Amino acid sequence: MQTDPERMLRDLADLRRIGAVGTGVVRPAFSETDIAARHWLAERMREAGLTPGFDPIGNLFGLPPGEAPCLLLGSHSDTQPQGGWLDGAYGVIAALEVARAAREAGGPGIAVVSFQDEEGRFGGLTGSSVWSGALSLAEADAMTDTGGVALADARAAMADVAGGFVDPARFTGFVEMHIEQGPVLDQAGEAIGVVEAIAGLRQLDIRLSGQQNHAGTTPMRLRRDAMQGLIGFATRLNVVLEPLATPATVWTIGHVQVEPNAASIVPGMVRFTVQWRDAEAARLERMEAATRDTAAEVAGERGLGLEISDFPPLSPVALDPGLCAHLAAAAEHCVPGRWRRMVSGALHDATNVARLMPTAMLFVPSIGGISHSFAEDTAEADLIAGVEVLAEAARRITAA
């Protein structure tokens, strides 16, 4: 099979126009633009010799002729409320191009998917969650967006085209290509990331309570300052997590709320999140213990009250070693020396699909690591290299 890079770039440009706002795209799940894009995609699938079909949750599958199990490629075509043009869309259009090239070459049969609501207008990874059985349709229907619209009402707009769920047994495996959405490949000047695992995530919501006081009349030695508690905690946390971490391990204090948050008042309460991600469950566990111990130590030393709430943990997902080996061989064939094995710090639909079948992912660089932004972009040469690696990988996987 021989992909046509120009044709893929044209399709990507056409899809970008649906919901375009400046350099970005506004195409949240089940919006008019999202539905229009899904119909446009179904038409492209049909032209490529695939049979398009929507399932009840809005996932669009394009299936090759015949009943034989085949490889599935794809990603999602919905966007963030203010999204970039490549997040999801690139993986869908690259899949379409490879499936089309395979059809033109007389085989192998390759299927294409665009999952629905990956970006979480309602839940996040919603379409692949329902398809993989992690979430029931009834549970999904009850979810609402920030404006109070229920998913059940939103998906009614596609009821006229909705068919049944595609049987996952139709597929031998799944490869999702995606932009990295981080700076690693761009900084290293590399073209491809072979994703071996999707990082798990844990998060604690920590509340330190001290004594709210007048910032003029309360001597330092008599203060129980919640903000100074956070400062002491965060400084020590960096020290204790450092030796537990790999270069791919991350931790973040992203949300901070100070009470009463006034320049002349010693803070009586501070509430903040600590979130960390890693590809190994055992490391996530060790980091949680270290975080809880550090919070307890600092609170104890400073006479602060301590409350910790759990956030539901997300387990790391190891991707299929056999598929990863094919992706690595394809990358070395197409862009020798310009690729790496890596961990995805962000979640993807592949997380859900990995429960059902062998699954792997490919990354292409994001310029400056920017994503979820109108400024999101990838060099044209990298977009082209990506689809060539995906096609080469599909060739190797289906020949194996």
DSSP per position, 271-285: EEEEEEEES-HHHHH
**Residues in 300-359 at the binding interface with its own copies, rule: CB under 8 A:** 311, 344-347
CB of 217 to its own copies, least distance (A): 3
With CB under 8 A as the contact rule, the residue among 273, 285, 297, 396 that binds its own copies is 273
CB of 75 to its own copies, least distance (A): 16
Q: Are 276 and 287 in contact (CB under 8 A)?
A: yes
Query: Which 179-238 positions form the footprint of its own copies (CB under 8 A)?
Result: 180-184, 187, 199, 201, 203, 213-222, 225, 227-228, 230-232, 234-235, 238
262: contact with its own copies by CB under 8 A: yes
Least distance in angstroms from the C-beta of 163 to its own copies: 34
Closest CB to its own copies among 346 and 353? 346
- Nearer residue to its own copies within complex by CB, 20 or 314: 314
**Location of structure tokens 């049979």:** 51
Provide the token pair at 261. Answer: 């948050």
Number of residues counted as binding its own copies (CB under 8 A): 59
CA distance 264 to 262: 6
Closest to its own copies by CB, 137 vs 218, is: 218
Nearest CA to 60 out of 128, 3, 121, 110 is that of 128
Among 23, 136, 261, 309, binds its own copies (CB under 8 A): 261
* Choice between 27 and 224, CB closer to its own copies: 224
* CA–CA distance, 106 with 342 (Å, rounded to integer): 34
User: Is the Cβ of residue 132 or residue 228 nearer to its own copies in the bound state?
Assistant: 228
Q: Are 14 and 25 in contact (CB under 8 A)?
A: no
- The CA distance from 175 to 195, in Å, is 10
For the bound state, the minimum distance from the C-beta of residue 240 to its own copies, rounded and expressed in Å, comes to 14
Nearer residue to its own copies within complex by CB, 136 or 261: 261
Query: Which of these, 320, 396, 379, lies nearest to 180 by C-alpha position?
Result: 379
Q: One symbol per residue from 360 to 389: x for binding its own copies (CB under 8 A), - otherwise; what is it?
A: ---------x-xx-----------------
Q: Which is nearer to its own copies, 56 or 268 (CB)?
A: 268
Q: Binding segment for its own copies among 39-47, 66-74, 262-270, 299-307 (CB under 8 A)? A: 262-270
C-alpha 158/C-alpha 142 separation (Å) is 17
DSSP states of 229-244 as a string? HHHHHHHHHHHHHGGG
Which is closer to its own copies, CB of 234 or CB of 240? 234
Is residue 12 part of the contact set for its own copies (CB under 8 A)?
A: no
Residue 364 · residue 386 · CB < 8 Å? yes
CA-to-CA separations, 394 to 46, 99, 118, in angstroms, rounded: 20, 9, 24
295 binds its own copies (CB under 8 A): no
- Of 76, 95, 87, the closest CA to residue 37 belongs to 76
User: In the bound complex, what is the minimum distance in angstroms from residue 205's beta carbon to its own copies?
Assistant: 8
Residue from 245, 318, 335, 367 in contact with its own copies (CB under 8 A): 245
> Looking at the chain, how many residues does it have?
400
Q: Are 374 and 27 in contact (CB under 8 A)?
A: no
> Cis ω on the peptide bond leading into residue 358 (within 30° of 0)?
no
Q: CB 255 → its own copies: shortest distance, Å? A: 5
In this structure, what token pair is assigned to residue 356?
């059902």
**Residues near 206 by Cβ (< 8 Å), separated by ≥ 6?**
233, 271, 272, 273, 274, 295, 306, 307, 308
Binding mask 132-171 for its own copies (x = CB under 8 A): ----------------------------------------
In the complex with its own copies, which residue's Cβ is closer, 144 or 211?
A: 211
Structure tokens at 110: 């390759």
Candidate residues 6, 159, 164, 264; the one interacting with its own copies per rule CB under 8 A: 264
The Cα 34–Cα 103 span in angstroms is 27
Spatial distance between the Cα atoms of 326 and 359, rounded to a whole number of angstroms: 12
Residue with tokens 């956070």: 230
Q: Which is nearer to its own copies, 299 or 346 (CB)?
A: 346
Question: Where do contacts with its own copies occur on this chain (CB under 8 A)?
Answer: 180-184, 187, 199, 201, 203, 213-222, 225, 227-228, 230-232, 234-235, 238, 245, 247-258, 261-267, 273, 275, 277, 311, 344-347, 369, 371-372
